[in-house]
Each structure stands twice: as structure tokens, then as C-alpha cells.
Amino acid sequence: MATNDDHSVTETERATLEELEGSSRVQVFDGEPRTIKLALDAGERIPPHQHPDRQIVLHLLEGRLRLTVGDDDHEVEAGELVRFDGDQEISPEALEESTAVLVLAKRSEE
């Protein structure tokens, strides 16, 4: 890994969702920020959980989700992006077959 002005420079990485077939949850790239492809069948739900000290961005590529974040429910349509705090309880439920990409970034100290 090369450095530039005391900042780490990483290699450019590429992936396609087709390369990640075969699992409902798969990490797209190694390292940070964590990038996950999530595929859910209609009616499938991930139990409530947390990702402490993370900011999360969910990009719904296809389908429709009910995303519970804390005490709030959000209906997310294909093409929408949602950003939320991973310290809250989260639980996505597919209202129809759905595919999303999630980026879980470590919370900045700033």
C-alpha cells in the first residue's frame, strides 16, 4: 500500500453483483468501509440487531423493504438511499424480492 502525505492510498477495486451470487449476505470488498450485498426473498426479515460505532448507508437496488430503525419504520423503494446510525436496533424486511448494497463506515471522531 502506498502512502501520500501521511494518508493511506488503497488500490482501486471493482465488483459486480453477479459475481456475488449464491449467498443472501456477502461482503463485497475486504477491509473498511465494510460493504455488503444483501438479497432477501419476499417476506424474509433480518432480526433486530446493531452495528455499534457505524454509520450505515443502504442503497436499495431492486424490490421494496420495510426498514425498522429504532422505533421508526421506513418503506424503502428501489433506487432510494437511506443513511442511519448503526447504534440503533435495525431490521430490514423484504416486502418483495429485494437486493441492496450497504456501506458500514466507522463513525468519524470529528
The alpha carbons of the chain give a radius of gyration, in whole angstroms, of 15
pLDDT reading at 54 higher than 80? yes
Q: Do the bridges between strand 54-69 and strand 81-85 make them parallel or antiparallel, or are there none, so unpaired?
A: antiparallel
The domain limits of the chain are: 15-106
More confident residue, 50 or 30: 50
With 60 as the cut, is the pLDDT of residue 96 above it? yes
pLDDT exceeds 80 at position 23: no
Give the whole-angstrom CA distance, residue 82 versus residue 57: 6
Tens digits of residue pLDDT in 55-81: 999 999 999 999 999 999 999 999 999
Contact 25, 94 (CB under 8 A): no
SS3 47: coil
- Pairwise CA distance, residues 2 & 93, whole Å: 41
pLDDT recorded at residue 3: 43
CATH code for residues 15-106: 2.60.120.10
DSSP-assigned letter for residue 33: S
Whole-model pTM: value is: 0.79
Q: Of the given ranges (9-18, 19-28, 34-43), which has the lowest mean pLDDT?
A: 19-28
> How many Cα atoms are found within 13 Å in the side-chain-facing hemisphere of 108?
1
Please say whether the beta carbons of 62 and 99 come within 8 A: yes
Q: Is the pLDDT of residue 28 over 80?
A: no
